[in-house]
Structure 1
Amino acid sequence: MSAFALSVQQQEFVRLVREIAESELLGLVGTGTPGRVNRDLVRAMGKQSLLARLYSGADDSRSAAAMDLCLLRETLATVSTEAETALALQGLGSYPILLSGTREAAKRWRPHVLSGEAVAAFALSESEAGSDAGALSLRAEPDGDGWRLHGEKLWISNAPDADVYSVFARTTPNARARGVTAFVVSGSSSGLSGEHLDMISPHPIGRLHFDGVRVGPEDVLGEVDAGFEVAMRTLDLFRPSVGAFALGMAQSALDTAIAHTTSRQAFGGVLSDQQAVSHKLADMATRLEAARLLVYSAASAYDAEAEPTEITRRSAMAKLEATEAAQFVVDTAVQLVGARALQHGHPLEHLYRDVRAPRIYEGASEIQRTIIGRSLTR
């Protein structure tokens, strides 16, 4: 991992996180049901205070520094993508509640989320509202001083196992993003059900059905009809850290490729003596380092409270380049290692499946390019 722009304290943090991941988390990876929430792993991260790093500050409600979040996710990903994803989903799902929820909602859920006893989820996507999040159609119909939720959510990570959801629903018809409200919804709510979806890489993800789920004014996150802002604030923080997750996977793939090519005997020497191979390694390392600098730049802009448009642009750049670079690095590593890299159980086989999804979720690469382009021309 590059030490560029990292303080001594940050480098020590990276060392500590890796030590915890290897000694306390790795033994729990793969022990749960494939594709479902590994609650023992989430609780272990709570016990080790890793979840608490997501939220810190004098008022106990501020989010952690974006740089800390990126270093946390990047470091965990080099050890275990399952552990990294479990932590990231906990943060993504709880961020709207802890920062935009009522005092009562934050008080109710904060201790359980940070201890790992309550699993959180971010419920934005729908079958017809993925990249076009403003098109969502989950209905919030007025019911006294509250609402009843009707419809479905799809591709929701941690569903249907989560204990609490940040749910985005339409409170004003035909208003696109201006008519969306965010709500906190308990996983045990009457009328809420769901099912798990099988994916190419085992991942806790599913569909949610809302059949008249009741939410009250105390469940609103932020303001009525201003839920899209809650979602975008969340994504501005987490998009660079998706890039950090990709960096961790890419670093692991590069390390594996270097170890193989510098020890594999071929053509009268080690494989890395071949110029075609050494140049591939050079390209992998260069793209990885360039992506890392973009991720750190985006995190620094967020922590420095730069202009919102700059934060959004840098976040989009970081997620775009880091996820695309990771795809290249992992694919090239597989090519260099050869057939054994595709054998079930090989580290690269696992990474090859895991690296594909980040180019889609939290805004596909095409959406990131649109965000960047608009920021340059408006």
Structure 2
Amino acid sequence: MARLYFDHNATSPLRPAAREAVVAALDAGNASSIHAEGRAARAKIENARSLLARHFGVKPELVVFTSGATEAANTVLRPALVGLACENLLIGGGEHPCVASGHGFAATARVALDGDGRLDFTDLREKLGFSRAPMLALQAANNETGVIQPVAEAAALVHEAGGVVVCDAVQALGRVDCAFAATGADVLFVSSHKIGGPKGVGAAIFSRRAVIPAQAFVRGGGQERGHRGGTENVAGVAGFAAAFQEVLAKGADEMTRLRALRDRIEADVTALAPEAIVFGAGAPRLPNTLAFALPGLAAETLVAALDVEGVAISSGSACSSGKVSASAVLASMGVPPEIARCALRISLGWPNNEQEGVAFPSILARVRQRMRNRA
């Protein structure tokens, strides 16, 4: 059997339609040029922009393409916006490192998570009581545990306090509804390669002009209506659009299939290892994500052993320069360090099938037994 790739929350393999779109656009002209070749490139970008705008329910000019989610986060997490100024930044306890670093706000504060990995509303209300015009950064779904955050409920409280909500919708895109109408957020950002599009492209999406940052993060020749300088990545944007079109066409059926596959793997894992701890089991989760620990078996060792057996899984976020380090997400959930060190993540995607789901538990059982014997 081919290798089992169960790390789609890190990156999902390129969908065939996205690959075709990228190849077709590699020789495209510069989208800022006014000749025919430039206009053809511009059309690819504007078609992609309109596709995203229609899905999220905004005008096309409120969609800004970036080099990915990290740049998008740095773009939107700014104190000075066109229509207001935010004085401090509140950061959900499970946020991705690209969100959690502060971004130039005078004051930042972490909002705790509960034991199931969802935002702690008691802590949120307390911190809002000491905030003026706050910005809350809250992901739609966690990249490590798959736990879906109550963004709409949090947004209602933040808006009462005169604040703004920025939602990292990277893991939610194509898996659960993350449009403005569902989240109540003011700003969203997404990434192409999590849904089977090319790496190196993402988007910041604004609900209205007032919440666009007053100054561009990347300055240059005025591309993206002055919101993001630099020659546009025509091939990347075209591939992103192709992947997203496929997601829109297949999304519901694909997620139903992956939820069933995830649930089967979870049941098999907990049957062969009764000591297994599933993180976020009491909360709504992404249909493709399973985070669990086998106490006593270090994640770093288990990930390496499974890799040798032909299985690619993760110990959490892939955005730490290849390091296996302590999970800030699990720490915020109150998970003891000795359990957090054993945390694994399976994240499924469009190519995964039932045969792979059947094969994985027996491989895990074999590796687990070998590690226990050595111990």
Q: TM-score range by the shorter chain?
A: under 0.3
| TM-score relative to the length of structure 2 | 0.25
| TM-score relative to the length of structure 1 | 0.25
Richer in helix (by share): 1
